[in-house]
Amino acid sequence: MSHMFSWNGALTADAVEEVIVKFQDPKWDSNVLLPPEQRHLGRPSFPESDVLDSSSRGERTVKNLKLQKALIVSGETTVSYACKRMATRGVDYVLLTDDDSLLCGIFTANDLAFRVLAEARMPDQTKLSKVMTRNPVFVFSDSTTIDALQKMAQGLFRHLPVIENGKVTAVVNNKGNNVTASLCLRVATVLASDPVSVAAERMRELRVNFVIIMDGNKVEGILTSKDLLIRVVAQNLLPELTFVEKVMTPNPECATMDTTIPEALRMMHFRKFTHLPVVDKGGLYFL
């Protein structure tokens, strides 16, 4: 039996650092770190009066955030080339613009897993325009940080394009913007001997961005959609002929059901984990 604690389906390491900082701020809504008895409730609400007292702190805009320069390509770019560009930059997304340099799409590691590998498309022959997410939600550079926070939380977005003077200039990544703790019961499992293409199919079936590699009741490894991007496609490996054991992260560290969410957050932050297995006598869980 497999389960997982997650933030919006998967608690990302990007979110941890800023959440820990904000958790220490008395004006930040500390309910985003739900106690154990509320873990099943999913995403909390974000009443403005509880989240931020703008009268005492002033309105911060997106420009005040630590933004990441946008990686931009055209829709005619192949998936294979885009993955190489993403791997070089160390990111798991790319933005697409049209002939007028206007934002028209986004392609992420999840799109790679769900729309390319799981559907047996050839990365070096598939154009991004065929598999991208069209017309992504965006935010203006002079929008408030609360607006960006709400858009990312409500849409479960990990990346939010920033528009300034009509052009894409940067991206807000989810450093503390997706603040939801819940128990995820959807954990995809595969065998180490399975090809990567099977792992991608399992991710798509359960709409998750990772699979767990099991050896009986033992957690043998983990493979994420970002691993598929960086370790498989960007390296010109064939998903059908590449075994999971060759590209997975082996022997991931685990927590227990007695571990509190703040403790798990700290573990993920300081050890730079993107997912954290939580194991008890009844089976495997995940944070």
- pLDDT tens digits in sequence order for the chain, 287 residues long: 444 544 333 333 444 444 434 443 444 443 444 444 444 444 444 444 333 433 344 578 998 888 999 999 999 999 999 999 999 999 999 999 998 889 999 999 999 999 999 999 999 999 999 999 999 999 999 999 889 888 988 888 889 999 998 899 999 987 433 333 444 556 889 999 999 999 999 999 999 899 999 888 788 999 999 999 999 999 999 999 999 999 999 999 888 878 887 888 888 888 888 788 877 766 665 55
pLDDT of residue 60: 87
C-alpha 187/C-alpha 222 separation (Å) is 11
Note the maximum CA span of the chain: 59
pLDDT of residue 273: 81
Nearest to 252 by CA among 187, 157, 174: 187
Domains of the chain: 64-173 (3.10.580.10)
C-alpha 23/C-alpha 228 separation (Å) is 33
pLDDT of residue 262: 83
Identify the three-state secondary structure at position 77.
coil
CA geometry: angle at 254 spanning 249 and 255, to 5°?
155
- For helices 261-271 and 13-23, the axis angle rounded to 10 degrees is 120
C-alpha 168/C-alpha 103 separation (Å) is 6
C-alpha 89/C-alpha 109 separation (Å) is 14
Cα 212 to chain centroid, rounded = 16
pLDDT of residue 260: 84
C-alpha 230/C-alpha 243 separation (Å) is 15
Identify the three-state secondary structure at position 48.
helix
Nearest to 139 by CA among 147, 128, 131: 147
- Give me the helices (H) in 40-182, please: 48-51, 54-57, 79-89, 109-111, 128-131, 145-155
